[in-house]
Amino acid sequence: MEFSEICEHFEQLEQTSSRLEKTGIVTSLLTRAHKDEIPIIVQLILGSVFPTWSTEKVGVGEKLLIKVVADVTGLTEGAILGYLKDTGDVGRAVEQAMENKKQVMFLTEDLSLSRVYDDLTKISQYEGKRSQDKKLKILAGLLTNASPLEARYLSRIVVEKMRTGVAEGTVRDGIARAFGVPSDVVEKAFMVSNDMGLVAKKACEGKEALSTLSLMLFRPIKMMAAQKVSTIEEGFEIVGTPCAVEYKYDGFRMQIHKEGSKVHIFTRRLEDVTRQFRDVVDVVRENIAGDCIIEAETIGIAEDGRWLPFQQISRRIKRKYDIDEIIDKIPVMTNVFDVLYLDGKSMIDEPFKTRRQRLEKIVTSVPRKLVLSKMIITDDAKEARTFFSESLSLGNEGVMLKNLSSPYTPGLRVGHMLKLKSVLESLDCIVIGAEWGTGRRAHYLGSFHLAVLDENNMPVMLGKVATGITDEMLETLTERLRPLIEYEEGKMAHIKADLVVEVAYEEIQKSPHYESGFALRFPRLIRMREDKGPEDADTIERVYDIYESDML
């Protein structure tokens, strides 16, 4: 298939806000494609070249892309940055640059999908010395042969910002319609494989082929998420009683895969952090029996045995150098709470009570290093409140409430697993912009623009936060966000949506000033959430629900 035909479908997706129409466009594109092209097309629709669990990355940021475009078009980087400031979209900026290029290429060839995919795959494989030059050369070759429209979407694919408003649910329904298989079967196959491209390829073989997909060791799946409740009584009403009440640790959630002596650790964002947690690898290898996929919450431990807050252990997640030093400085305790796969069998359809019993048989506790999460089973609200208070007194966030008969549902925020935190309400927001400070803070980003996800999983602004931030936090935030700056206008820096922060607030109000239609009253930044990606941020639906509940 020609890449131009795919881009025409992308443009159609971008031009409609109707989910039904988007589903039809996805269906049309998939039915036109050859079987071997289907997984590639599905990945590109979702805005990436590789599945989310893959360690392969194109590894080309906007700055490098702009440099290539300048070389191809004969325009200055400043001119292209000007287009970017005007449009706020790197794809549109590159499209304008290609339309206004000063250099004319006489020997060009049409781009095929296979050429684009193969070249982007080659780019992802280059490492070490001169790798950047090799990446630039291949990317320049693609852009030289691209039409302005193809350049728009090629650029967005490279930086993983498609802006077509297509969520996984739309692609799921498009696959179901294209190949005549039930949508729920497609959904289940995606849950266990975490690879929508593979799911689409199997779907074109029929329903039976989809049923062959299952959990695989060292291919992480999206983690099940919990809904929030305000009281023990509300939680009991939703999950039913008796239920499991479990410590909600203020730590770092891990999905740990073990086969024999081989152990890999993945974050909630499906990043492989095995190197940063070699101490956890060692204790898991020696004290967990069988081949398995388990979930755990890992917390930092002080010298006196106190449990440290998340911000302490979060320093490990991004650490690339001097890892042994930080392992010695911040020892950790891993609290295991679920098992998803054991000795060749998926456990996700088993009741939580059964999964917990199996977990208890395979874990050998090592004090202050590896333990089962602390949990009680009760239908007594008073006992649960006492347990909640005990958890808070130890520095935890609160408790989890879990239905004993519930399965594990990858990637969904479910009602059979709830979280109850302290009374302070908070939201997980994406930083999409920041403003440089003044005076002694002139070298730091000091005010941060916050967003939540709309119905198409696109960030919509909810307000700004500039309080609750120490000088140390400002320095850390600036260092973290500086590489994500896409362009600047005066003191305003537009930030690539990557960092999630937890923000407390006093009240949610209606507001015409922000795209979301809401604003936070007296927001205060609590902490960065390096364990979460932008796809894990709170949604406008949740903001609306909180607003409505406050009105009752």
Identity (one letter) of the amino acid at 400? M
In terms of Cα–Cα distance, which of 293, 298, 227 is closest to 262?
A: 293
Domain-ending residue, one of 128, 159, 190: 159
Tell me what the mean pLDDT of segment 290-311 comes to.
Answer: 89
Domain-ending residue, one of 135, 159, 183: 159
- Domain extent, residue 71, equals 48-159
pLDDT band at 161 (very low <50, low <70, confident <90, very high): confident
Q: Length of the chain in residues, anyone?
A: 552
355 and 495 within one domain: no
**Interaxial angle between packed helices 232-239 and 381-393, expressed in degrees from 0 to 180 and rounded to the nearest 10:** 120
The confidence score (pLDDT) of residue 439 equals 80
The confidence score (pLDDT) of residue 306 equals 86
In order, the DSSP letters of 139-196 are HHHHHHT--HHHHHHHHHHHHT---S---HHHHHHHHHHHHT--HHHHHHHHHHH--H
Do the domain assignments include residue 137? yes
Question: Which residue in the list 188, 201, 202, 248 is annotated as catalytic?
Answer: 248
In terms of Cα–Cα distance, which of 530, 522, 298, 532 is closest to 425?
A: 522
The shares of helix, strand and coil residues in the chain, as percent rounded to the nearest 5, are 45, 25, 35
pLDDT band at 490 (very low <50, low <70, confident <90, very high): confident
Distances (CA, A) of 502 to 343, 452, 497, 523: 37, 11, 15, 10
462 and 399 within one domain: no
Distance, in Å, from the CA atom of 205 to the CA atom of 190, rounded to the nearest integer, reads 15
378 and 495 within one domain: no
Residues 6+ apart with CB under 8 A from 166: 13, 22, 26, 45, 46, 456
351 and 453 within one domain: no
Where is pLDDT greater, at 413 or 342? Answer: 342
pLDDT digits (tens, 9 = 90+) for 449-462: 999 998 878 899 99
Question: Poorest-confidence range of 122-126, 388-392, 407-411?
Answer: 122-126
Assess whether pLDDT exceeds 50 at residue 552: no
Distance, in Å, from the CA atom of 435 to the CA atom of 247, rounded to the nearest integer, reads 38
392 and 256 within one domain: yes
372 and 248 within one domain: yes
Instruction: State both tokens at 543.
Output: 């903001």
Classify 151 in phi/psi space as left (phi over 0), alpha (psi -120 to 50) or beta: alpha
In terms of Cα–Cα distance, which of 355, 90, 120 is closest to 246?
A: 355
Domain-ending residue, one of 131, 159, 187: 159
461 and 541 within one domain: yes
Burial of 252 (0-12, 13-18, 19+ CB in 10 A): buried
The confidence score (pLDDT) of residue 240 equals 96
413 and 449 within one domain: no
Model pTM score = 0.84
pLDDT digits (tens, 9 = 90+) for 260-285: 999 999 998 898 999 989 999 999 99
517 and 457 within one domain: yes
Task: Quickly list H helices, 88-147.
Answer: 90-99, 113-125, 131-144
288 and 238 within one domain: yes
pLDDT digits (tens, 9 = 90+) for 348-386: 999 999 999 999 999 999 999 999 999 999 999 999 999
The confidence score (pLDDT) of residue 424 equals 60
Count structural domains, the chain: 3
Instruction: Assign residue 153 the CATH number of its domain.
Output: 1.10.3260.10
245 and 336 within one domain: yes
Do the domain assignments include residue 231? yes
Place of tokens 């001119």: 79
Instruction: Assign residue 284 the CATH number of its domain.
Output: 3.30.470.30
pLDDT digits (tens, 9 = 90+) for 50-100: 998 888 888 888 888 999 999 999 999 999 999 998 888 899 999 999 999
Q: Is position 35 annotated as part of the catalytic site? A: no
Assess whether pLDDT exceeds 80 at residue 212: yes
